[in-house]
Structure 1
Amino acid sequence: MRSRNPVFSRRGFSRDNGYAGFNTAPQAGGPAVATQGNPYAQPTGDQYAQNPYAQNPYAQQDLQYGAPPQAPATTGRMTIDDVVLRTASTLGVLILTAALSWALLPIDDANISRSYGIGIGAALIGMVLAFVQSFKRKASPALILTYAAFEGVFLGVVSNIVDNRIADGAAMQAVIGTMAVFTGVLIAYKAGWIRVNRRFYGFVMAAALGFILLMTVNLLFAVFGGGDGLGFRSGAMGVIFGIVGIILGACFLALDFKQVEDGIAYGAPREEAWFAAFGLTLTLVWIYMEFLRIISILNSND
């Protein structure tokens, strides 16, 4: 599954080696997709045969003899309700474990190191699970929900520390900021202000790769050289790169929305909705962490 997130790789709905939608055509009988302004549509005579999700075994024969292609049954196909339900389930597990870790893991002077260690351990386990899911050919609901549970533990610990020791109300501010970005990108995408095509995808992934490499170098300098590394995650530079991270997260959301739209239009199987939920969760966690980092930096400098 091609990545919408700069860290993890996942398959696209097209089930080929390209980005979702570039090499497929809408499903026969599925939702209509306009050919004008849609960089993914291929208005050719064999469009139904090109769709890997089309289930009509007589499609090419019908086209050969001039018969109109029959619409395949829509049972078992992904819908927007499937995506919403699975995304809500994934985020619900994440929020629940975050709340539990916030309440049950103390951050007083005597226990903060242990709680922080548990949070980092949970983050590492979540990262491993995310990589495992990313390389699986099929979505595993149990794996995705387990990832969300461990990620929630990490977010709960980190949010509790920032909220109580650095900036009161930081967690809620980061949540509001994340919701605002999600809503803004969704409105802009539905209004057509954001056009997701090959150029957009290439630009976002190139920028994400550069961002990740730069942050990795900064982390290595911090680990082996001490201090703040190259200073890209602290002070004024930290705020600037935090804003860049949020902008990248907004771009990833647009790519996620396009993936969902294509999956529905091309008749993706219902289980593919778990991939959409997985990608949206990764992106929202990314944006939340960038907001939390900016808030932490701004209040540390007061």
Structure 2
Amino acid sequence: MYNQPSYAPPAGMGRTLTMDDVVMKGFIVLGTLMASAGVAWIMEVPMGIAVVALIAALILGLVITFKQSTNPALILAYAVLEGVALAGISLIFAARFGNGLVLQAIVGTMMAVLGVLAVYALNIFRPTPKFAKFVIGAAIGAIGLILVNMLVGIWVPGGLGLRSGGALAIVFSAAMILLGMFFLLLDFDEINHAVQAGAPERTSWLLVFGLMLSIVWIYLEVLRLLSYFSGDD
């Protein structure tokens, strides 16, 4: 993804992709994610189940990504698992900082998504191949820093301080939110290119899967950033 592959459909592959297809699949996939998260939230899903769902979602997400699968069953299954995992994570933050924090994170995520959509729709900025390489490189570097922070945290409390709630943690989470918004910008651009290139209609499932990953990324980082400004009482 994000390298603008050839979307030209082989002969006899049925109708081509339209923006309506992406919007419809977006409602289905994101609706499934939110419904799953909502049910798990109401049922106060046990942390053990949330962890299992998170691991299963990670494995399934890697399968979908590396196979570039357009199978709707796999993508909807991922949405369900991710919804349960997000509910479990959100419950942890809510137990410590109050339910209001989760609502603020949801609103903040929606504002971020709408902001990026406006930037792209109004043609304020359009990603270039160089920009895409920068974003992917930054993501690899960020993931590497997170892993190092976790490793150092085994011996040093707080690790490098990337998630400890201090000034560095605030800056890092803000950067991660910005990076997630950059990925969202790439997602919108990829959707536009796929529609213009006449990609097969089934491609809409994979495109919406990419959108879902970016939105989940933004939500988790917004949730974490807001927690740094909330009291523990």
Q: TM-score, normalised by structure 1?
A: 0.72
% of aligned pairs identical?
37
C-alpha displacement at 1:90, in angstroms? Answer: 1.1
In structure 1, what is the Cα distance between the partners aligned to 2:231 and 2:209? Answer: 33
1:265 and 2:221 matched: no
C-alpha displacement at 1:162, in angstroms? Answer: 1.2
In structure 1, what is the Cα distance between the partners aligned to 2:34 and 2:61? Answer: 17
Unmatched tracts of structure 2, length 5 or more: none
In structure 2, what is the Cα distance between the partners aligned to 1:117 and 1:214? Answer: 27
In structure 2, what is the Cα distance between the partners aligned to 1:264 and 1:74? Answer: 15
In structure 2, what is the Cα distance between the partners aligned to 1:54 and 1:266? Answer: 12
Describe the SS at the equivalent of 2:17. coil
The equivalent residue for 1:162 is: 93
The equivalent residue for 1:232 is: 162
In structure 1, what is the Cα distance between the partners aligned to 2:8 and 2:99? Answer: 51
Per-residue CA distance 1:121-154 (angstroms, 9 max, x = gap): 2111100000011122431111111111111011
Q: How does 1:14-53 map to 2 (within 5 A)?
A: 19-20=3-4, 52-53=8-9
Task: Give the alignment partner of residue 190 of structure 1, picking from 112, 116, 121.
Answer: 121
Q: Is the 8 A contact 1:119 1:154 kept in 2?
A: yes
1:94 and 2:33 matched: yes
The equivalent residue for 1:132 is: 63
1:104 and 2:38 matched: no
Per-residue CA distance 1:209-259 (angstroms, 9 max, x = gap): 11111011112222x326322210122222111100110011001100011
C-alpha displacement at 1:260, in angstroms? Answer: 0.4
| AA in 1 matched with 2:4 | A
The equivalent residue for 1:45 is: none
Q: Is the 8 A contact 1:166 1:300 kept in 2?
A: yes
In structure 1, what is the Cα distance between the partners aligned to 2:31 and 2:99? Answer: 24
Per-residue CA distance 1:89-112 (angstroms, 9 max, x = gap): 111111111111112126xxxxxx
| AA in 2 matched with 1:198 | P
In structure 2, what is the Cα distance between the partners aligned to 1:139 and 1:54? Answer: 15
C-alpha displacement at 1:157, in angstroms? Answer: 1.4
Counting helix residues as a fraction of each chain, which structure ranks higher?
Answer: 2
In structure 1, what is the Cα distance between the partners aligned to 2:39 and 2:156? Answer: 33
C-alpha displacement at 1:75, in angstroms? Answer: 5.6
Q: Is the 8 A contact 2:126 2:189 kept in 1?
A: no
In structure 1, what is the Cα distance between the partners aligned to 2:232 and 2:174? Answer: 17
In structure 2, what is the Cα distance between the partners aligned to 1:120 and 1:228? Answer: 22
Q: Is the 8 A contact 2:94 2:102 kept in 1?
A: yes
Q: Is the 8 A contact 1:167 1:296 kept in 2?
A: no
Q: TM-score, normalised by structure 2?
A: 0.92
Q: Is the 8 A contact 1:167 1:299 kept in 2?
A: no
In structure 1, what is the Cα distance between the partners aligned to 2:193 and 2:13? Answer: 15
The equivalent residue for 2:149 is: 218
In structure 2, what is the Cα distance between the partners aligned to 1:291 and 1:142? Answer: 29
C-alpha displacement at 1:54, in angstroms? Answer: 7.1
1:118 and 2:49 matched: yes
Unmatched tracts of structure 1, length 5 or more: 5-18, 25-50, 56-72, 107-114
Describe the SS at the equivalent of 1:232. coil
Describe the SS at the equivalent of 1:219. helix
